[in-house]
Amino acid sequence: MKKVIVKVPHRISGFFEIVDEINGRKISNPEKVGSRGAGFNLNSFGTTEIQFEEHTSNEESTYKIYINNNELNDKAETSSYIVNKCIQRQEFSYDIKVFHNFDLPVGCGFGASGSGALGCIYGLNKLLDLKLSSFEQGKIAHVAEVVNRTGLGTVCGQLGGGLSVLLEPGYPCSCKRINILEDVVLICGSYGKIYTKSILNDPKLNKSIKIAGRKALNNLLKEPNLNNFVKVSYEFVLESKILLILNLNEITELLKDLNKLNIIGASMNQLGRSIFVFCHKDSEKEVYEVLNSYKPSLKIFRSSINNNKGFFVKTK
């Protein structure tokens, strides 16, 4: 049995503008569908381990996909799409097992689907010797997310690294990095899942996000720094009315309490019942006091921005 391990950082999007239409017509090419917006990679990771054995007979290839030790197979739609795509390229048949394990909660706005998609394609490319370029691997991961409605721009952000702005939708990626010149503390909190697919299919919220996302991007580009990123992210949350439309009262109150503090700022993960807070070391205690007052329903995680590009790939 051969195996490969790939580590890809989680990512939080602060705001986004859905781009799935041109002049009122739906874009048919999934490569061109995506988002404009901004977000950051974390020093918390999705680890994908892939094992395979080549079949000795002419039987069809088989695969199993696990997410945090739960066997999901075809229900893990994005990874399943990628596995099937790779199997089609092969003359031989295989028994493939994909194990995704994530440091941060899945379905909560921490970019797990993008992390898993990239881990899957990078791992299979190495293991099956597909000889795909980095460009081709990124394209497959992006399309897998778009087709399965699990994400729009997360893959491009994860490929860009650090705190980055997605200037144009779709693939190839158009990213601009924002340098952070100070030491900051990053703390996250989560109440649980939001189903991205249902949100992306909601016409009212879809329209609201497009308008607020476009405005947020324009405002960030006028002053591209961390403080302004957090500021326009929170403005996006308020102006899109996402908290009201999704009835996220607990997030509403938590963000109000956090933004009363003397900190860089706090906003909501896109998309999840989760929040992120940036502060300096001298304000950290006050932030934890607020967050702890919302426990036990709120799960708290500490991380930091990951400024690296590229992913850890190891074969065994």
Is the model's pLDDT at 184 over the cut of 80? Answer: yes
In the block, residue with structure tokens 């967050």:
291
pLDDT-derived band at 239, boundaries 50, 70, 90: very high
Least confident of 51-60, 156-165, 204-213, 261-270: 51-60
Verify that 79 and 102 share a domain, yes or no. Answer: yes
pLDDT surpassing 80 at residue 228: yes
Residue 305 has pLDDT above 70, yes or no: yes
In whole angstroms, what is the distance from residue 237 CA to residue 246 CA?
11
151 with 188, same domain: the answer is no
Residues 99 and 246 in one domain: no
Peptide bond between residue 291 and the one before it cis (omega within 30 degrees of 0): no
**Do 173 and 315 contact (CB within 8 A), yes or no?**
no
Mean pLDDT value of segment 38-67? 91
Q: Are the C-beta atoms of residues 122 and 82 closer than 8 Å to each other?
A: no
Domain that holds residue 236: 180-303
Cβ atoms of 118 and 151 closer than 8 Å: no
Residues 142 and 193 reside in one and the same domain: no
Find the CATH number of the domain harbouring 60: 3.30.230.10
Q: How many domains does the chain have?
A: 2
- Mean pLDDT over residues 139-165, rounded? 95
Same domain, 8 and 155: yes
In contact, 258 and 280? CB cutoff 8 Å: no
Tell whether 14 and 144 lie within a shared domain. yes
Residues 222 and 167 in one domain: no
pLDDT value of position 309: 78
Q: Are residues 141 and 11 in the same domain?
A: yes
Both 187 and 71 in one domain: the answer is no
HSE-up (13 A, CA, CB side) for residue 264: 23
Span 252-264, average pLDDT: 98
* 313 vs 204, more confident: 204
Residues 17 and 164 reside in one and the same domain: yes
Higher-pLDDT residue of 263 and 200 is: 263
CATH number at residue 284: 3.30.70.890
pTM over 0.85: yes
Cβ atoms of residues 303 and 269 within 8 Å: no
